[in-house]
Structure 1
């Protein structure tokens, strides 16, 4: 396609948030250009790459790596793209290609709880958002309708309308876990963007059980579908376009962006309104790179807030063998969870959490475990069947409080285009440590109720990332402690907006994509309102 040099709105990043924002603007009559650093890859090719990969547990296996738009790689021999400043590693995992990281997600589309927007006022911890649950409720529903979301109706998040999609029927595994844990623990269907019937030209889920890293039939919504819908609405998309500088005038109004193609030829695009919709790490990196005489520390960073308050859901897990065969591995990977510890007065003292119950096939991990234990031959086959049919795996999602010292800065390393790579500083505070102790108590109760043996907890002091990367572009009323206003507009630049998880002031206890998409749709309405009144 011929390169476009101007548009009403220029969107940087073609993930689920940028794509659905761009789509909404285009449907309202705006000319929209979306720039994506990574390549365009068809789902069939991704499925084929995964099918032929020897490492089925690697969620990045289907997604091509490019030195021109590198993403994090965590292998012993990798010269990792992310420089870790510690003290705890922040092992972010994201995809730089058309459609973004939701290609390999679990499609969980949870609403925040009303109290998640006001933790400082109610519990004396964290931050209050500049908006309330009521401000975003209609946008939650708009996003659910687009993506075909279904789930449990009584998750604690008030709904004015029912889910647009019925849930995928519960597997035998889910049914037995639910029955065995009741009434002490309430197991609820995950809120997911997964078809239980034909919808939007895509089929119903047939239970392939590799939703992560790629749904082979597109029963599960993802950013690739969002990007395609944006293109159908008239959005022009340029892939392999790595934005490296944002240009402004004397008043701080953004006038253009500059990008490299993969041959390192520089191009310039002008527009009226600009939206940064890359992930929370890459968006912060771009703003920090875009220095000028007027903004020596980067754009939108007059008060030094860009890149700060980097958060995720630090997680610990447990596995054990149940006292009956429940056969995980049939149906969606992530079907259900326990949400009764997401809110309460205890939030004044320790992190709230949600418990995810995995339905992933346990055959590969059990086989590896048994080989290491010395099993072989017929005894190996017999024991694989016994353990894999009983293996239960849980992982929590602990709320981490925003901390300005947890942050993204620029490292001294350069990528293949000569651009600086991200440097991450991250630590785990006592609020999370106390929440971890509370989680372990619940794990013990659950294991006892399910007759567990062979119980294995995460290594003490070790946390895994849930890849719910938030903060770094926090919205707020006060420019001294935030980057954007309540609509995602940069405090320092009247025509620069941010979309994605980076604008979220806090991370809550659930997957963050639905909230980020809802905010992006709300930002699109604000942009359109300003166009009408211009």
Structure 2
């Protein structure tokens, strides 16, 4: 074992939430050690990786993979890291490296709507949060200022201050779809951390249209920027540090954090406060691995709640050819949505949803389709232009109810460091299936209004997941049904906090990063309040 490290606070996971929390603590004078299981890579190297990749549709292609800190991948082999044990495969795409998964996101930074926090009280489904929208409203704004968020002022989430960023100008596709659907549907700007002007030392969006898997100019904020900001504030960052065990004292406080470097040399860190900021799969894995005579089922898991209530946005999609050229592929890939179905009395009967309208280039998929149909030569060129200019795709972000049977556990498979890989069980209930039926009805109507032909719905009964992983560390007032309290503190361990999407009890109908980041800043302030006298 190497020499020990000591800090006021140790944070495990250098994604956007862990990095923002670490920055706030360091600015208040705390010594902070930030441990990241993956490597440190620069944007230039990642962009080059993407340019050289054979599979441009693989959003993991630019990002480094190591057997020492494995994550799901889809080429050259399919997802061989997550063991699938449920009726629906949970195909997560997350990155273990400095900055985390928001390197390859679409930068959507939506607020929940107020009723998302009390679905059980209002609609008799899901669970109520231990906090309200008002408890987060100021923290929402703080994160929006840090990351530079712009969007539609009237998007269902009340605001006390305007967006700090003006919206990126609407693409031609967005303008045409908005105009033609206006009689029945209101198309609104997505709330995104994407610059429409120079902001935070980063340039304005220039419309590269590969926001996913990486913005080549850093026009959109991501966790790599957050980690750089943490380091600039004095946070000590150790990469290639795979935490494998939490140690506790006789009172149940976390007394040490143990990690392997990539040579499998063990290191020990001690701190007054421990914060777990790995994602909603890797954090439960760590807790379940950290067993002892007193906590036989793992840290924070005395009541078998760790890893349970895994939620995402089970998605169904549609594509069709509009009766006019709308030219997808110019501007951001994810510019606008239909938010009319995020809330309402219908939530007592079926899942609410938001409809994402894609502006991603369709040239690659259309070309593949035409080659399969036998096109070649000039006819192929003409049809690529014709179809790719008209092809429109939509996908929903549909709320999934928390179900304790949907969960993360440990598989019998071990990685290169001898640590268990995650085992996933994911199913889709009747509530979500009824939401999918309602979604498909709107897809049909939208296609009609746009003169759609060649309409292709995703396979009936099949659902993709949107990589919006929540629920496995749910916060709540009752330790019998939750893992953490309203501040993200483990019910069973006074000095152990958790941040990230896992603490969110419900998934709502929007991308989850903004809410997770707001919660992280709120937890940071709580830690500062409790430790202000040392």
Shorter-chain TM-score category? Answer: over 0.9
Displacement of 1:75 in angstroms is 4.8
Which residue of structure 2 lines up, in the alignment, with residue 301 of structure 1?
301
Q: Hey, what does 1:157 align to over in structure 2?
A: 157
Residue 86 of structure 2 aligns to a residue whose secondary structure is strand
Q: CA deviation at 1:136?
A: 0.4
Which residue number in structure 1 is paired with residue 45 of structure 2?
A: 45
What RMSD, in angstroms, separates the aligned Cα atoms of the two structures?
Answer: 1.0
- Structure 1 contact 314–399 (Cα < 8 Å) conserved: yes
1:390 aligns with 2:381: no
Which residue of structure 1 aligns with residue 291 of structure 2?
291
Q: Taking structure 2 as the reference length, what is the TM-score of the superposition?
A: 0.99
1:329 paired to 2:329:
yes
> What SS is found at the alignment partner of 2:312?
coil
Q: Matches of 2:262 and 2:423 in 1, distance apart?
A: 23
CA contact (8 A) 2:82 2:421 kept: yes
User: What is the CA deviation profile of residues 267-302 of structure 1, one whole-angstrom value per residue up to 9, with x for unaligned ones?
Assistant: 001100000000000000000000000100000001
1:88 & 1:443 partners in 2: Cα distance?
23
In structure 2, how many angstroms separate the alpha carbons of the residues matched to 1:401 and 1:78? 28
8 Å Cα contact 2:155/2:339 also seen in 1: yes
Partner residue of 2:190?
190
Contact preservation (8 Å) 1:483, 1:490: yes
For residues 3 and 494 of structure 1, the distance between their equivalents in structure 2, rounded to whole angstroms, comes to 26
Which residue number in structure 2 is paired with residue 64 of structure 1? 64
1:206 maps to 206
Secondary structure of the residue aligned to 1:386 is helix
CA deviation string 1:325-347 (max 9, x = no partner): 01110000000000000000000
SS in 2 for 1:87: coil
Query: How far does the alpha carbon of each residue in 1:241-266 deviate from its partner, in whole angstroms, 9 at most, with x for none?
Result: 00000011011011110000000000
Q: Aligned partners of 2:484, 2:350: CA distance in 1, in Å?
A: 28
Task: Render the CA deviation track for 1:470-522: whole Å, top value 9, x for unaligned.
Answer: 11100000000000000000000000000000000000000000000000000
In structure 1, the partner of 2:107 is 107
Map 1:14-29 → 2, pairs under 5 A: 14-29=14-29
Q: Distance in 1 between matches of 2:3 and 2:148?
A: 34
Tell me, which stretches of 5 or more residues in structure 1 are unaligned? none
TM-score, length basis structure 1:
0.99
- SS at the partner of 1:167? coil
Partner of 1:261: 261
Aligned residue number for residue 426 of structure 1: 426
In the aligned structure 1, how far is the partner of 2:93 from the partner of 2:469?
Answer: 9
Matched, 1:343 2:308: no
Whether 2:315 is the aligned partner of 1:312: answer no
Give the drift of 1:533: 4.8
Does the 8 Å CA contact 2:108/2:511 hold for their aligned counterparts?
A: yes
SS at match of 1:274: strand
Q: 2: CA distance between counterparts of 1:224 and 1:468?
A: 19
**Whole-angstrom CA distance in 2 between matches of 1:359 and 1:74:** 23
Q: Tell me what 2:226 maps to.
A: 226
Is the CA contact 1:108–1:190 (under 8 Å) kept in the aligned structure 2? Answer: yes
Give the Cα separation in 2 of the matches to 1:528 and 1:14: 19
**What is the aligned partner in structure 2 of residue 493 from structure 1?**
493
How many matched pairs?
A: 533
Equivalent residue number for residue 360 of structure 1: 360
Alignment of 1:107-126 (within 5 A): 107-126=107-126
Q: Which residue of 2 aligns with 1:404?
A: 404
Q: Distance in 2 between matches of 1:434 and 1:505?
A: 21
Cα deviation code 1:158-181 (max 9, x no counterpart): 100000000000011110010010
Which structure 2 residues correspond to residues 136-151 of structure 1 after superposition, within 5 A? 136-151=136-151
Contact 1:4 1:33 in 2 (8 A): no
Counterpart contact for 1:3–1:238, Cα < 8 Å: no
SS in 1 for 2:21: helix
The runs of 4+ residues in structure 1 deviating greater than 2 Å are 74-79
Q: Give the drift of 1:77.
A: 3.8
Deviation at 1:74, TM superposition (A): 3.0
> Secondary structure of 1:34's partner?
strand
Aligned to 1:142, the other structure's residue is in SS state helix
Once the two structures are TM-superposed, the CA of residue 4 in structure 1 deviates from its matched residue by 7.0
Q: Which residue of structure 2 lines up, in the alignment, with residue 379 of structure 1?
A: 379
1:165-219 deviation digits (Å, cap 9, x = unpaired)? 0000001111001001002000000000000000111100000000000000000
